Structure 1
């Protein structure tokens, strides 16, 4: 309760956990009840973490009628209370994760899925360090068609994209200032902001940190960006492809792994990296097809994964090559790391990091070796491809042995049922309805 005592202006709190789609599910509670929540948690139906993107129950889910829709116990994560700078009334958010009545972690909780992968690393004396790069569009969605947001300074709408343009950033200086202030208040390490290749598209990098904090930071930052944008009169969207004619939103993740002495096990003192890094690359490559459902979880996700559109489509790796799915950046050898470039901005960060780090660990455990790194344009080399459709990705995820080494059976079952239900309904949506569905939910 220390934080609340230091912030006596807080009127209400929100308790929330991430569902499988990364949507925050929870409750609003008066501050006077906060101590009870912090000590004992609160109760949610387990099925709340397994809703579809519309917020509906999953048909025939064993969590609902078959089991009597039982409660779990939502307990605070180690993150603790934090402000919600996008709300007019002083409010605090308390992130939660779900346990069963008997105290066991709920296997359908995406944060627990990541925790299980990280325990496998810890059992080997290893600690993954991760940083994410989040791309998003700011859009005027007040009319029938999406438009670029007018500049806060000139009132004019930018006629085109401007990569790494200071003018584009400065046009929304009030927005970005509020965003960085909010990130600092929430202990989210927001670093560099740039303008990107799309119309009204930007990217902000989050500093490298331990993997669970990186996942928390990413999930919370998406809430913050969407909230601050609405506070400024427009929308922010992480959906994979809001505009057919412009680049999609990605969420690249950089990761290295430290041993018990704090040494980077990918660093061999030069640019090549260690054999262990090669094993991790092979693990990531071999899991790209089966894990596509995590990296591209929605119907709109597959509009982004097309050739020559700034998103990888080929299963390959390379040094300093942004057309490859797996890239090893240059720079100081002490920071040797892997960049995984497939995930869209619409992913659940907990599941994404669990999939990427779990795949890398599988490669390390099995001492797998990748093929030779490519050079040149990956789009032109006839390489193996990522799944080309949502339906294909669902089938691959459900049946793959590698996925079963990374994720618990209950989560696999729940996610597959969710995506099959969404796939069936998605087929009936018009393009306009698809944008309405995903624009600021994912």
Structure 2
């Protein structure tokens, strides 16, 4: 596997001008959170040529940034270092408020130069290498949903889906997001006001580089957070921050090109090709066992509940937004699959590795899907997506196919991370629990 590197680092034309005094060198951990160090600008040439060192354990910390005992990377192995090398993206100005420092994105290798499979970038790279070996290229786009709130007040108002008035009222914020994203090489299409007060969605452009699509999505989330803070708001990518309003998803659209650049899902009909059905079948066959990739947190499963457009059953359909997989209408040349399971809280590297890996499993094994669903998929007699977080974890770590689609090293590390997070939540007594039981019993 070849690492993308660069000898120069052109800085994106973001909010800040002039030469920065320092830069951030960072990796994304397994939860999709940036972790790294601030370095003087004088160190940039060294980092570009040789990278920088960080503990292997730093990529496998839990959601609170605590070492995960189950990975056995700290005390048991002396907390050994990995080498973090540039991804080739160069310096990016993500617009941190009051902070002129750009980010240099990195990915982690072992001491011997081999990929460290705890890094989900390598996970996705391995899946894409399997496509390349078959002369296939996934074309990917993501849809990013989130809530924009006033830090001093709870969300208010009424549902106003696709309301232009809500978009117009946030024009300065939206303009800021588009400008910073463009300067970072992130192409963004439509912005919409979604089905709840303060909920918005951005559509990123389809591109034949799934690795860039994943990293664009994570950088874009940070750009949104930073812009929100500059405009006096907070942005939340929780899957279900408000119990009485819609959840936020990370929908993924993808098609696959052959060596001639032809879409293998297209056959001149609205139904799509046999290859499309094989890809659908592969995703359906693996979806339950890969649920943890799409819904990695406790809060994720509050979104995957009946009564909304987030799926609960493992099925597919044409223009059916209640199904886990939707085949959108439109021009035949753009025939594609929309995967609707992932929450906005998921790590796009893991999500794309799981989606594309599952689809490739179906293509290579020539699997056939069940009939498409044209009614409310929530009430159909179809298998369920993992019913809760513990169920998802158990499926993820015990099924051999998960390790084949992803990688056993990543599966073990991610499962250990989620096990530790579950144990912490299980030991925490909530305010609601206290109010319910303290005086009643």
Both structures adopt the same fold (TM-score exceeding 0.5): yes
CA distance in structure 2 between the partners assigned to 1:254 and 1:301 by the alignment = 20
Deviation at 1:234, TM superposition (A): 1.5
Q: Does the alignment pair 1:64 with 2:71?
A: no
1:356-386 CA distances to partner (integer Å, 9 max, x unpaired)?
Answer: 0000000011100000101111112232211
1:116-195 maps to which residues of 2 (within 5 A)? Answer: 116-142=126-152, 147-148=154-155, 159-195=157-193
In structure 2, C-alpha distance between the alignment counterparts of 1:37 and 1:116, rounded to whole Å: 25
Quick check: 2:160–2:195 contact (8 Å CA) kept in 1? yes
- Alignment match, 2:248: 249
Query: Match of 2:302?
Result: 303
TM-score by length of 2: 0.93
Greater shift after overlay, 73-82 or 375-384? 375-384
Q: 1:26-45 to 2 correspondence within 5 Å?
A: 26-45=36-55
What is the aligned partner in structure 1 of residue 436 from structure 2?
none
2:196 equivalent among 195, 198, 202: 198
In structure 2, the partner of 1:90 is: 100
Judge conservation of contact 2:12–2:92 (CA < 8 Å) in 1: no
Aligned in 2, Cα 1:331/1:5: closer, same or farther, shift over 3 Å?
closer
Q: Is the contact between residue 12 and residue 183 of structure 2 (CA under 8 Å) also seen in structure 1?
A: no
- How far, CA to CA, are the matches of 1:106 and 1:432 in structure 2? 40
- In the TM superposition, what is the alpha-carbon distance from 1:98 to its structure 2 partner? 0.2
Q: How does 1:413-424 map to 2 (within 5 A)?
A: 413-424=412-423
What is the TM-score of this pair, normalised by structure 1? 0.93
In structure 1, distance between residues paired with 2:286 and 2:149: 34
Query: Would you say the 8 A contact 2:12–2:184 is kept in 1?
Result: no
Matched, 1:207 2:205: yes
Contact 2:313/2:383 (8 A) holds in 1? yes
In the TM superposition, residue 433 of structure 1 has moved relative to its aligned partner by 11
User: Cα RMSD (Å) of the superposition?
Assistant: 1.7
In structure 2, runs of 5+ residues without a counterpart are 1-7, 434-441
1:11 paired to 2:11: no
Q: Tell me which residue corresponds to 1:275.
A: 274
Mapped partners of 1:212, 1:422: distance in 2 = 27
Runs ≥4 residues deviating over 3 A: 4-8, 428-434
1:295-353 deviation line (CA, Å, top 9, x unaligned): 00000001100001220001000001101000100000000000000000000000000
TM superposition shift of 1:431: 5.8
Q: Unaligned 5+ residue runs, structure 1?
A: 149-157, 435-442
- By how many angstroms is 1:220 displaced? 0.5
Cα deviation for residue 68 of structure 1 reads 0.8
Q: Distance in 1 between matches of 2:189 and 2:21?
A: 30
Matched residue count: 422
1:89, CA displacement in angstroms?
3.4
The 5-angstrom pairing of residues 315-330 of structure 1 reads 315-330=314-329
| Inter-partner Cα distance in structure 1 for 2:88 and 2:334 | 28
